[in-house]
Amino acid sequence: MLNELRIPRMGSVENARLLNWRVQEGEAYEPGQVLYEIETDKTSVEVEAEGPGVLARHLAAVGDEFKVGDRIGLWALPGTAPATLRAALSPQPMRASERAPSPSSTLPAAVSAPGLHALRPVSRDAAGGRRVSPLARRLAAQNGVDLATVTGTGMGGKISGKDVLAASAKPRPAPVPVSPPRPGSDGEIVPHSLRRRTIAQRMVEAAAIPTLTADMEVDLTALFARRRSVEGNGASVLGMIAEAAIAALLQHRRLNAHWREDAMVQFGAVHLGIAVDTPEGLVVPVVRNAESLNARGLTDAIAALADKARAGTLRPQDMEGGTFTISNPGSMGPVVRAEALLNPPQVALLGLPGIVRAPVAIKDGDAWAMAVRPLLRLSLSFDHRALDGGPVIAFLNTLKATLERP
């Protein structure tokens, strides 16, 4: 009897793309061994076996996309003989009344757990009854490739994205002579990753929110002095600003909230999202219960999450449940302003541009003097459905006073 191998549930993840099979058909595996690797809309995940077994059949090819719970393979108990596997994997006989293959006609006759959801059907019509991955169908539409002319190299003749790209690269007869393409006129087709598509969808959602940004200039002279002292030993500038922002959020809870159409959800704990730039795109891992950490603890927690993000080892749950986000584009270069789109359903986001040294008028007794000071222009983007200007300016005033405290 065979059992079904399915895409596991991982928090709020809904979609996944198969990146790699680590165990091949007919190969035995042990508990904890990585069976396959998938890309979700948040990160890449290695899926491990919970117990021993034999991987009987791959039902998915690299590049195929699935929903959580979809079936991608079949496995058998350890020690199952090859002959038994072959018998179990033999297809059901075709009925004469069937005019075309049904989606289940190539599946084994005996599969356990019949109550589980089946693999999402793959469209076959345009390819003459052959299986076509979603990526291949999308690339075919983009490149004007007739799937009926493509030879599939996947299991059972399945057409993959690379098959479509190979077909599109072959010369095709043109109805009329055309001039040779100019150098550099050809473009490379780079399919979107699930993460990039998710980022795009989130940006469209965020852009529809009525968002305003309030700026306030802060003198960081006192913060740098504290950082040089024992009080700030080992803390980064970002960690110290995060500590001050968290303290301000505890006083102005309306900014530490989620927007819902029927209500605002205000949180007592601060789950701080930190925007991290990675080669695969922007991610926002979350420091849980950030109010319990001091500047040094926040520095370490932020650095650890950023390292995991850039290494691609974040778990989906590491990026869920944030109540307020800090974006720090100033760490990448001398950005003048850090206006940003929100991270819905959060109602506020603090942007930190580059720190600049500029002349400032300083009160000196009854007179004024000029001094060069390190200045930071805080940018607080907020959802105008949830917040008016008053609470936002009050938050920034509190944050400014904390950062400039001697």
Q: What is the set of active-site residues? A: 384, 388
Query: What DSSP assignment string belongs to 134-188?
Result: HHHHHHHHHHT--GGGPPP-SGGG-B-HHHHHHHHHS----SS--PPPPTT----
The helix/strand/coil state of 76 is strand
- Single-letter amino acid, residue 360: V
Cα atoms in the 13 Å half-sphere on the side-chain side of 241? 26
Kindly state the tokens that stand for 338.
Answer: 């850090």
Give whole-number Cα distances, 278 to 81, 183, 311, in Å: 46, 32, 9
CA dist 342 and 259 (Å) reads 11
Terminus-to-terminus CA distance in the chain, angstroms?
72
The helix/strand/coil state of 192 is coil
Q: Where are the beta strands (DSSP E) in 248-366?
A: 257-259, 264-266, 272-274, 276-278, 281-283, 286-287, 324-327, 348-351, 356-364
SS3 percent helix, strand, coil of the chain, rounded to 5, is 30, 25, 45
Residue pair 124/130 in contact (Cβ under 8 Å)? The answer is yes
CA dist 159 and 136 (Å) reads 7
Query: Which residue blocks in 171-253 are alpha helix, DSSP H?
Result: 194-207, 221-228, 237-251
CA dist 80 and 103 (Å) reads 27
Residue 400: Cβ within 10 Å count: 18
